[in-house]
Amino acid sequence: EMDVAAPEHAILASSSSGLLMTKIQKATTRPQRCVLVHPVLPVYLIPLVEIAGGDQTSRETLSAAYDFMKRLGKIPVLLKREVPGYIVNRFQAALLREAIDLVDKGVASAEDVDKAFCMGIGLRDPIVGPFLRIHLAGEGIERFIENYSQSYQYRWETMETWTSIPPSAAKKMVRAVKEMEVIRSRSLEEIKNWRDEMLVKLLKVIREV
């Protein structure tokens, strides 16, 4: 249907967060002009977009999608190869598993887990990402690897590796989230509006810097 609706020179872009482009482009007659352009929620505020090609996507298509997103005022990142979840959702998957496990094991409440993220690394990470952070923390990336690898190994060895949320953990998570003050005191729509207002203010500060 897309082949019929769009002219031959048009690039077909998908925002799918689950399907890989290699699978999607098999359904078209122009696989070389198919590309993934994946935004981050809420898409009307977050500037980042992930760009990825499939096995048959041309370099010209990737470059065109990248440049077009930049002209729209977005901040594109280019994946060198396909991977389920791309970049952002893989970050979120790893973070969510650990957050669920902390609640499941009774280490902290859902409210305090969220607070630790938002008022800890969440404040720092809009400025520096994981690689720049460890470069700064270690006074250089080589020194970080030399001095901190063992402590990170100890943490990783104590972290969960399940790939499906255990039913008992899911029940605890649901109960813990419903106990959060913000959820008990506001509607879903009110929370979304508050989130968007905070994002607008944060983006203004980042752009001024």
Q: What is the pLDDT of residues 138-185, one digit of tens each?
A: 999 999 999 999 999 999 999 999 999 999 999 999 999 999 999 999
Structure tokens at 124: 């720092």
Q: What is the pLDDT of residues 39-76, one digit of tens each?
A: 999 999 999 999 999 999 999 999 999 999 999 999 99
Task: Supply the CATH number for residue 42's domain.
Answer: 3.40.50.720
Active site residue 38: yes
Task: Supply the CATH number for residue 110's domain.
Answer: 1.10.1040.10
Active site residue 50: yes
The domain in which residue 167 lies consists of 88-178
Same domain, 37 and 119: no
Mean pLDDT of the chain: 95
Of 16, 17, 58, 109, catalytic? 17
Asked if the structure places residue 209 within a domain, the reply is no
Structure tokens at 29: 């007659």
Q: In the chain, how many domains are there?
A: 2
Same domain, 173 and 100: yes
Sheet holding 48-53, edge to edge: 12-14, 34-39, 48-53, 75-78
CA–CA gap between residue 110 and residue 156 (Å, rounded) = 21
Q: CB-side exposure of 74: number of CA atoms within 13 Å?
A: 20
Instruction: Indicate yes or no: pTM above 0.85.
Output: yes
Structure tokens at 24: 């999607």
Check residue 142 and give its pLDDT: 96
Of 89, 98, 111, 135, catalytic? 89
**Does residue 209 register a pLDDT over 80?**
no
Can you name the residues that pair with 76 across neighbouring β-strands?
49
Same domain, 107 and 60: no
Active site residue 157: no
Q: Which residues of 98-125 are buried (b: 16+ CB within 10 A; e: fewer)?
A: ebbbbbbeeeeebbebbeeeeeeeeeee
SS3 content of the chain, % helix, strand, coil (to 5): 60, 10, 35
